[in-house]
Amino acid sequence: ADHPPRVAIRHDSASLLDRLKAVPLVLERQLDSPLPVPVYASNADAMTGGKTVEVSALLPGAVAAVFLGPLPDDKLPKDAVAGKSLVGTLSLGLSGSNGSAAPGKLPIRLSCAPAKEGDANNNGGGDSKAEGSEKSAEEKMTEAVRDAQLKILKELKFKTGEGAEGKDAAAEEMYRATVASLEVTFPGHLPLLLEKMSRANGVEGEQRTPEAMADVMEAADMIVASVDTSALAAFVA
């Protein structure tokens, strides 16, 4: 339910009270339960949603770099709309043989982003129903097919390079043909560009060929080019 706030302020100066009308009101509330923040071993994994760090033992004095990724949409509160922030502390692991909580906590702040277009759950806010109602049945079907194809592409496993033959070669050919077709139909579709970069980036620790590195750079350039810098600057401001 909506709860309109009412603030009563008394002061002798009427002009001062008038200026307070334009002052934003900041409300804070406690979440029902803590939110798990995904932690990654590399910046690339954090950007593409790769494998998270589960357990990593550190000796006293050791230093390890970790990267925080965005919270899953289904974990965000329903009222986490654009313009709101989630503020808290990050606890990293346990300390000592008795398993007590590590004494150090890091303050973190998450700025809520606008809801994804067409998000059925409307997690993260935004008027997705209004946006979805403007689309025709044909557009909805086309986007549903696109999302299904993209899901299959992400799950597709095959070897690339000189060792690829038989089923691997056929799977790679299908992958590249499907990506090329989707790029023509949906130019600048961010999930597609991220999948293309993630696939080109390969597995962490593998020796990458110059051709693979060129594909990574090309995909990264396409992602940067797809960003609406004016809208981004307005949102950050």
Average pLDDT over residues 200-220: 72
pLDDT tens by residue, 95-152? 666 666 666 778 888 888 776 654 444 443 334 444 445 788 899 999 999 999 999 9
15, 18, 144 from 12: Cα distances, Å: 9, 12, 61
Beta-strand relationship, 94-95 and 39-40: unpaired
- The pLDDT of residue 143 is 92
DSSP SS3 for 61: coil
The C-alpha atoms of residue 175 and residue 102 are separated, in whole angstroms, by 45
